Amino acid sequence: MRNVWLIWPALLLAGCVGTDYIADAPAQGVSRIDVQPTSVAVAVGQIVGLQAVFIDEAGQVVADIDFTWTSSNPAVAGISEAGVLSGLGEGQAYVFASTADVVSDSILVGVVADAENQVAATRAGAFVGRDDNHENRGTALLQPGMDGALVLSFSDDFYVTAGPGLEIFLATQDAVGPGSLGIGPLQSDRGAQAYPLSGSVRLTDYNWVLIHCVPFNITFGKARLQ
């Protein structure tokens, strides 16, 4: 009888083997290529720089990637190895970037016959930080989208020191003040991103892009549009 009582706990323990909860492995993402802007309108003879960024399975930006750019209609929209788009003929085309077996979504390119039918050229500026404690780098690009409304986009190497309540402003001077236009919260402190603007904003209305900490009223960085 003593042997039976010794065996019974052992059987109970054996029955628990393999029943511990094992969490499912986290789902893996998919590598992708993001291209900015997502649509372009140019006139014949105009050029626009496109930005591509490679995002790996973990959602991290991978630098130093060589992209292959392709246009569905090279007679309408030419695209260089560096991602510089040229309006060559009136019409529409789709452009995409690729590397290895990863291909971006196509962006729609509309080319009109002359600049009078186009909402002006692109404006761009390089970001600079306030000081060593407030870094800011990358490029701001302001240009019209397919619907004619402007799109503000940042290059894939954009970076700004993280801080509370960071928002984007367009301004006529290098500080937030009367007449400045609030675009909204910063999407991310790094990487390519785009902000569609109201159709009432014109390309020449503002000369500065500001990254501003609203709670402390401090501008972390700025880019002067040329």
pLDDT of 9 above 70: no
Residue closest to 190 by CA, chosen among 221, 169, 215: 221
Q: Summarize the confidence of residues 48-57 as an average pLDDT.
A: 90
With b for 16 or more beta-carbon neighbours within 10 A and e for fewer, the 99-138 pattern comes to: beebebebbbbbbbeeeeebbebbbbbebebbeeebebbb
pTM for the full predicted model: 0.52
Q: Where in the chain is the domain with CATH 2.60.40.200?
A: 123-224
Chain center to CA of 186: 11
Q: Does domain 32-117 have CATH number 2.60.40.1080?
A: yes
Whether the pLDDT of residue 14 is over 80: the answer is: no
Q: How confident is the model at residue 42 (pLDDT cuts 50, 70, 90)?
A: confident
Query: What local confidence, expressed as pLDDT, does residue 116 receive?
Result: 53
What are 154-181's pLDDT values in tens digits? Answer: 888 899 999 999 999 999 999 999 999 9
As annotated, the residues of the chain forming the CATH 2.60.40.1080 domain(s) are 32-117
Which one, of 184, 211, 212, lies nearest residue 197 by Cα?
184
pLDDT at residue 146 in the model: 64
Per-residue pLDDT tens for 118-141? 444 678 889 999 999 999 999 998
Q: Give the Cα separation of 140 and 109 in Å (integer).
A: 20
What the block records as the tokens of 159 is 């970076």
Please report which confidence band the pLDDT of residue 115 belongs to, taking 50, 70 and 90 as the band edges.
Answer: low
User: How large is the average pLDDT for residues 47-51?
Assistant: 87
Amino acid 217: pLDDT: 96
Closest CA to 158 of 123, 188, 115: 188
Q: Give the contacts of 112 (CB within 8 A, at least 6 positions apart).
A: 41, 42, 43, 44, 87, 90, 118
Mean pLDDT taken over the chain: 83
- First and final C-alpha spacing in the chain: 94
Please, what CATH class does the domain formed by 123-224 belong to? mainly beta
Q: By 3-state DSSP, what share of the chain in percent is helix, strand and coil, each rounded to 5? A: 10, 45, 45
pLDDT in tens, 95-105: 999 998 899 99
Does 143 have pLDDT greater than 90?
Answer: no
pLDDT at 113 over 60: yes
What pLDDT, on the 0 to 100 scale, is given for residue 121? Answer: 60
Q: CB under 8 Å to 34, separation ≥6 — which residues? A: 52, 53, 55, 104, 156, 192
What pLDDT does 3 receive?
47
- Cβ contacts of 53 within 8 Å, gap of 6 or more: 33, 34, 36, 61, 156, 191, 192
